[in-house]
């Protein structure tokens, strides 16, 4: 890997870290950059990215715990249920990735990124509001719903190496969870989904430690900065910009 490429990956990882704790979908940019620029197989991309998301999840959870987002009881419950159900999904998704041809991984990642971006932009443009807040749903129904969401996010995270927040935050917000609480809960979930996905890839030798360190350290710096941004900047503007960028970069994954 050339010094120029390494420097570019560091910059992308820094901004990705900001996105992780500012609005949730941010780590996906590390996956995109590794897939498009680094000399890694699709399995190594997903495995290496997942390894970095373990660290960002731990730090993100810590800073959001500090700012009080977990003071609400249902936030802690959601974090536990999402984390538990995403484990099985992450393991299944990581094993499925190992069976896919390289070109299929590219198409899936491109489609996933474009879809998430389009959903974010559409929701912000039309001002979509949930019909019911998730904390007003009966306990049993809420746990079943959150568990199903966690399982689906686990499969996607393990399969594509995109971590949990990129999917969890938009889904939780649509379900009526406050933005900062959704981001905080997603940090906890990402620890488990990424850890088990990383184990699955590591057993197949598909985790590059040098690359994980190269992009993981600047991501951690970005995580702290993103947490501060989330408490200072209008999240509506940040979500619109992110959605547009996701849609814009998705075709590049097919090159």
Say if residue 143 is exposed, middle or buried (CB neighbours under 10 Å; 0-12, 13-18, 19+). middle
Most confident of the following: 19-28, 73-82, 173-182, 223-232: 223-232
Range 143-152 average pLDDT: 83
pLDDT above 90: percentage of residues in the chain: 32
Q: What is the pTM of this model?
A: 0.82
Q: Is 72 a residue whose pLDDT tops 80?
A: no
Give, rounded to a whole angstrom, the gap between the first and last alpha carbons of the chain. 20
Please count the other Cβ atoms lying within 10 Å of the Cβ belonging to residue 236. Answer: 11
Range 149-164 average pLDDT: 75
Q: Are 74 and 135 in contact (CB under 8 A)?
A: yes
Please count the other Cβ atoms lying within 10 Å of the Cβ belonging to residue 169. Answer: 26
pLDDT at 94: 75
| Higher pLDDT among residues 82 and 58, named by residue | 58
Predicted confidence band at 255 (pLDDT cuts at 50, 70, 90)? low
pLDDT at 140: 77
Per-residue pLDDT tens over the stretch 77-128: 888 888 888 887 877 887 777 777 767 777 877 888 788 888 888 877 877 6
Q: Is 8 a residue whose pLDDT tops 90?
A: yes
Q: Are 158 and 94 in contact (CB under 8 A)?
A: yes
Number of domains in the chain: 1
Torsion of CA 46, 32, 114, 111, to 10 degrees: -40
Range of the structural domain that residue 103 is part of: 3-254
Predicted confidence band at 60 (pLDDT cuts at 50, 70, 90)? very high
């Amino acid at each position: 890997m050339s010094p120029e490429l390494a420097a570019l990956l560091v910059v992308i990882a820094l901004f990705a870290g900001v996105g992780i704790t500012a609005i949730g979908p941010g780590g996906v940019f590390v996956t995109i950059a590794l897939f498009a620029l680094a000399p890694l197989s699709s399995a190594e991309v997903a495995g290496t990215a997942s390894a970095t998301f373990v660290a960002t999840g731990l730090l993100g959870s810590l800073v959001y715990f500090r700012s009080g987002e977990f003071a609400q009881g249902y936030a802690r419950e959601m974090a536990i249920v999402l984390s538990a159900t995403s484990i099985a999904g992450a393991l299944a998704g990581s094993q499925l990735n190992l069976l896919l041809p390289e070109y299929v991984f590219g198409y899936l990642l491109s489609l996933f990124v474009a879809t998430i971006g389009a959903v974010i932009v559409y929701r912000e443009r039309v001002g979509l509001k949930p019909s019911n807040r998730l904390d007003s749903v009966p306990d049993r129904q809420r746990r079943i719903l959150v568990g199903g969401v966690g399982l689906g996010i686990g499969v996607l995270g393990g399969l594509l190496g995109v971590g949990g927040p990129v999917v969890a935050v938009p889904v939780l917000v649509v379900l009526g969870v406050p933005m900062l609480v959704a981001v905080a809960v997603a940090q906890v979930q990402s620890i488990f989904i990424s850890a088990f996905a990383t184990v699955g890839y590591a057993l197949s030798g598909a985790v590059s430690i040098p690359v994980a360190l190269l992009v993981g350290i600047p991501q951690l710096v970005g995580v702290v900065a993103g947490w501060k941004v989330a408490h200072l900047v209008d999240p509506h503007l940040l979500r619109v910009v992110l959605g547009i960028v996701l849609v814009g970069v998705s075709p590049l994954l097919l090159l």
